[in-house]
Chains A and B, each alone.
Chain A
Amino acid sequence: ETGVTQSPTHLIKTRGQQVTLRCSSQSGHNTVSWYQQALGQGPQFIFQYYREEENGRGNFPPRFSGLQFPNYSSELNVNALELDDSALYLCASSLGVATNEKLFFGSGTQLSVL
């Protein structure tokens, strides 16, 4: 059984650029959620995908978008990067969308926007 993997581990971009972060879910998991963790804060929910459809979204602007593929890998895309987008981005997969589901986290992608 493989765990959740994220790539790249670190990324540096400049303001206004676009970025794509990738996540491979744990085997058998059909649900993936993305979180943003700013320094000194807890993870903040961006959105969730279930069977390739968006299944909930947090308080993030439309320039944050995502995709989930048939093999349950997923992407987080951020357009028009802003300095405040600098954070650790976490991907978490789960077996389903029940509220008591256990989340399995990746190690994250550290994004720096200059």
Chain B
Amino acid sequence: AQRVTQPEKLLSVFKGAPVELKCNYSYSGSPELFWYVQYSRQRLQLLLRHISRESIKGFTADLNKGETSFHLKKPFAQEEDSAMYYCALSGSKNGNQFYFGTGTSLTVIP
């Protein structure tokens, strides 16, 4: 069964500390992996996708197919990183259906 697991509902780190938001997935095929973010009073928006291999706002994510993980990392957290983060995967088995995790609420403490 297709599933995205984010084990931490809440995560707090101090400003300047490294942050890692965990994401594990299960999918019978080759999925595309994404991180979406929702800042306070804003709509859900794409942060990054693994196919682009990009760094956005200092965040990176590496797809580890062996561990079926796609953890989001940033070496030095900033206060403006406080938000809700959703890991998501998409596959072509049923339209372009996205499966979202339950989200991790990140708080960066000044």
A interface residue numbers (CB < 8 A to B): 4, 31, 33, 35, 40-45, 47-48, 50, 55-58, 90, 94, 97-108
Contacts and interface: CB of A to CB of B under 8 A. Distances in A.
Interface of B: 4, 9, 31-32, 36, 43-46, 49, 51, 86, 88, 90-92, 94-103
A93 B64 CA distance: 29
A45 to B, nearest CB: 5
A99 B45 contact: no
Nearest to A107: B43
B101 to A, nearest CB: 5
B94 A33 contact: no
A60 B102 CA distance: 18
Given A40-B102, A105-B44, A100 B90 contact: yes
5 contacts: A55-B96, A56-B94, A56-B95, A98-B96, A104-B45
Contacts of A103: 36, 46, 98
B96 A106 contact: no
A48 B96 contact: yes
A47 to B, nearest CB: 7
A100 B32 contact: yes
Given A56-B95, A58-B97, 17 more contacts: A35-B100, A41-B103, A47-B95, A48-B97, A50-B95, A55-B96, A94-B96, A97-B96, A99-B32, A99-B92, A100-B90, A101-B90, A102-B49, A103-B36, A103-B46, A105-B44, A107-B43
